[in-house]
Amino acid sequence: MKDVENFFMKKSLKKIAILAGAAAIGLSTAACSSSSATVVNYKGGKITQDDYYEAMKDTSSGQQTLVSLIIYRTLKQQYGDKVSSKKIDAQYNKYKKQYGSSFSTVLSYSGLTTKSFKQNLATNLYSIAALKDLKKPTAKQEKNWWASYHTKTTVQHIVVAKKSTAQTVISKLKSGTSFATLAKKYSTDTATKKKAGKLAAFDSTDTSLSSTFKSAVWKLKEGEYTTTPVKTSSGYEVIKVLKTTEKGAYNTKANKKFIDNQLYTKWASNSTVMTKIIGKVLKKADVNIKDKDLKSKNLLSSYLNPSSSTASSTATSSSN
């Protein structure tokens, strides 16, 4: 499930995944400690934890913090035994290594501390465990995914700035000039021009190449090249397929494992799917918000009743 975990890792610092930040810990303390405890003193008065709680619960950020905390706690209760502290630390250390000396700055800029960021990572991993437990790929889904999948393919490419130059390259290929010779002469890709324009093998799950580039590749057979320039963000490209690999049957043990991993990665990036998963977790936990003001806000409705929330949102948008 590395691909699924990596997906959530990429989202964590951007706080796109379910957040359980430092504010959640603050609200938790405010809500659960003695209401008479003092948070701030000033001449002639003080602010108690109860004052702070009453102020926070009326704000959208305070309400979202509570939702995040509920999700974190219920996920941990049901799937905490599926995620070890070593696994959380391992992901944390990957980020720390990736950002090096600027890691603390990145955390601070994202409004996170070491503790809250690790809690965020834990929430993500618990979410993955819940997804795997509550949503299983069907044979039809596996078969359909495999049908659209393109296996490892090796290509050569030549990148140029002008369409007319790409057309010149194609004309020279048709007249018999080798791809390697043309790549060396015309290509602006310095990383591949001296290697006959050859790229590392890739498949349709590769995200480093544009969909336009890959679509052009999938239309070619071994030995064929594009006869019209392919426009990408790099310029105009001429692409030749050197080698493809056999796909094989979808239902072999190795292929099914690979397919399921890709399906889970896809579902993990689908907010509708993950909202339903979290909804199932919350329903199982039988969450009951006791504070009457917060209860009236229906804070969990988007998870517990996603279809009605969507309809309500649509109606509100239409009336504005």
Q: Taking CA 76 as the corner, what is the angle to CA 280 and CA 126, rounded to the nearest 5 degrees? A: 70
pLDDT (0 to 100) of residue 320: 42
pLDDT tens-digit map of 281-291: 999 999 999 99
pTM check: above 0.85: no
Classify residue 102 by its DSSP letter: G
Q: Taking CA 24 as the corner, what is the angle to CA 22 and CA 25, rounded to the nearest 5 degrees? A: 70
Closest CA to 294 of 69, 75, 68, 54: 54
What domains are defined for the chain?
Answer: 2-138+254-319 (no CATH), 150-244 (3.10.50.40)
AA letter at 199:
L
pLDDT (0 to 100) of residue 1: 56
pLDDT tens-digit map of 152-164: 999 999 999 999 9
Classify residue 220 by its DSSP letter: P
Write the secondary structure of 138-176 as one string of H (helix), E (strand) and C (coil).
CHHHHHHHHHHCCCCEEEEEEEECCHHHHHHHHHHHHCC
pLDDT (0 to 100) of residue 31: 46
pLDDT (0 to 100) of residue 4: 61
Angstrom distance (rounded) from CA 132 to CA 176: 53
Using 70 as the pLDDT threshold, list the residues of the chain that sit under it. 1-35, 308-320
Exposure of 269 in the CB half-sphere (CA atoms within 13 A): 12
pLDDT (0 to 100) of residue 155: 99
* Residue 103 and residue 110 in contact, taking contact as beta carbons nearer than 8 Å: no
pLDDT (0 to 100) of residue 319: 38
Beta-strand relationship, 230-232 and 235-244: antiparallel
